[in-house]
Amino acid sequence: MAVGFDAGSSGTESKGQGGRAVVNDVVVHRGRDEGFRGVAAVGDARSAWDNRPMTSLTFELLASDGAARRGRLHFPRGTVETPAFMPVGTYGSVKAMTPRDLVEVGAEIILGNTFHLHLRPGLEIVKKFGGLHRFIGWGRPILTDSGGFQVFSLAHRRKLTEEGVTFASPVDGSRVFLSPEVSMRIQTVLDSDIAMIFDECTPYEIDGVPIDEQRAAESMALSLRWAERSRRAFDELGNPNNLFGIVQGGVHEALRRRSAEGLVGIGFDGYAVGGLAVGEPEEVRNRTLDFTVPMLPADKPRYLMGVGRPEDIVEAVRRGIDMFDCVMPTRNARNGFLFVPEGTLRIRNAKYAADTRVIEEGCDCYACANGFSRAYLRHLDRCNEILASQLATMHNLRHYQRLMAGLRAAIEAGTLEDFTAAFYARRRGAAVA
């Protein structure tokens, strides 16, 4: 019965074609291969990003267990096993992690933010490198958010019209304008493997009061019009990558259906569920997923945006979601919160001052595998040492990747309900903070 976390690959090397080897699933080029100009060092996360073949992604469904799906996304830059968790690198960097660290924790795809990368370093800089991959030294797939979430998160400093959104820059206060066309131009320069349409992330509530259906309908309709403009601009730019639509509509089934049907009519390479993890109760979120996910095409990947507690991921996988992103594992790590199967361990608490145990027995992350104690991590954190954030982030991201591997194995074995029961049983055992 597969109910535990999968420890992941053993990191062995296998021979490849044309002077290549595969180390920890990274293609290492030992010579000049046809169609490539880059040469990567062993173990490095860089791979050949120049002159790659341009094709849309393919989604391969390998197994299912109830509504849950075990699949595989194939990109020219690499393969992503699903369900997948994407670490967030807002500015082109997952905080406290090198690209090599990301490979070692098991990340196969990361997320960048269109809005923030547009502000800094700016498109002219990224363009000199031929795109974001080469600029940041990451040769695997990247998904970029369109900037639509900033329509939500910077609502206090924006002006929204049919044409687009004008923001006060959080960097210097200058005016910044984003529209579907501008967002698609930025994402084309970034050359992300998955671009997202520009949308308005519908809020759950305003000033503590849930928005009414009329307000949610207006927001959804605007996002649908922007989806058409995004699709048109993406195609006119000749972007050879992939564009995902985003289903909006708040917590209202009829609105979600109108949004999903409209997006499918336009046609996208994958479909995201947006407008959740914006303050709604957990039961409302799960109910919204219950009626929204079945509306999405079965032959396309499904992405739940911004939802990231381990419990939320398990529940969404059970409902048929394939892809996730969230800042939670990295942000929590920098604030001294470490994920373990029983819940969350707060390393700043005094009870860990002389604790000789590693963060999590059986974890194969760098921190645990090398015997770094809870006492040492607490010491580093109290001294504001950079290593505290590095070790904690490595652990949290590896914890998430092991969770995803466990979910994939359980779906393959047809034991997802057993996995889920064991997952919750461990969390009910005892508080660990």
pLDDT at residue 148, rounded to an integer: 74
Question: Domain residues of the chain, as ranges?
Answer: 1-51, 63-326, 336-429
Q: Does 248 show up as a binding residue in the annotation?
A: yes
DSSP structure string for 19-88: SEEEETTEEEE-S--TT----PPTT-S----TT------EEEEEEEETTEEEEEEEETTEEEEESEEE-B
Q: Does 381 show up as a binding residue in the annotation?
A: no
pLDDT at residue 9, rounded to an integer: 35
pLDDT at residue 45, rounded to an integer: 42
pLDDT at residue 430, rounded to an integer: 58
DSSP structure string for 364-406: -SHHHHTT-BHHHHHHHHHTT-HHHHHHHHHHHHHHHHHHHHH
Between CA 270 and CA 398 the distance in angstroms is: 26
Burial of 379 (0-12, 13-18, 19+ CB in 10 A): middle
CB-based contacts of 79, cutoff 8 Å, min separation 6: 72, 73, 108
Q: Does 250 show up as a binding residue in the annotation?
A: no
pLDDT at residue 155, rounded to an integer: 64
Using 70 as the pLDDT threshold, list the residues of the chain that sit under it: 1-55, 149-156, 429-431
pLDDT at residue 150, rounded to an integer: 65
Between CA 207 and CA 203 the distance in angstroms is: 11
Question: What is the number of other CB atoms lying within 10 angstroms of the CB of residue 168?
Answer: 15
Would residue 50 show up in a list of annotated catalytic residues for this protein? Answer: no
Q: Does 112 show up as a binding residue in the annotation?
A: no
Determine the topology of domain 63-326 in CATH.
Answer: TIM Barrel (3.20.20)
Among 339, 345, 348, residue whose Cα is nearest residue 379: 348
Determine if the pTM surpasses 0.85: yes
pLDDT at residue 433, rounded to an integer: 79
Catalytic residue among 65, 101, 145, 322: 145
Would residue 312 show up in a list of annotated catalytic residues for this protein? Answer: no
pLDDT at residue 39, rounded to an integer: 24
What confidence tens digit (pLDDT) does each residue in 273-286 have?
A: 999 999 999 999 99
Residue 409, helix vs strand vs coil: helix
pLDDT at residue 252, rounded to an integer: 98
Catalytic residue among 65, 193, 312, 325: 325
Q: Does 18 show up as a binding residue in the annotation?
A: no
Secondary-structure percent of the chain, ordered helix, strand, coil, rounded to 5: 40, 20, 40
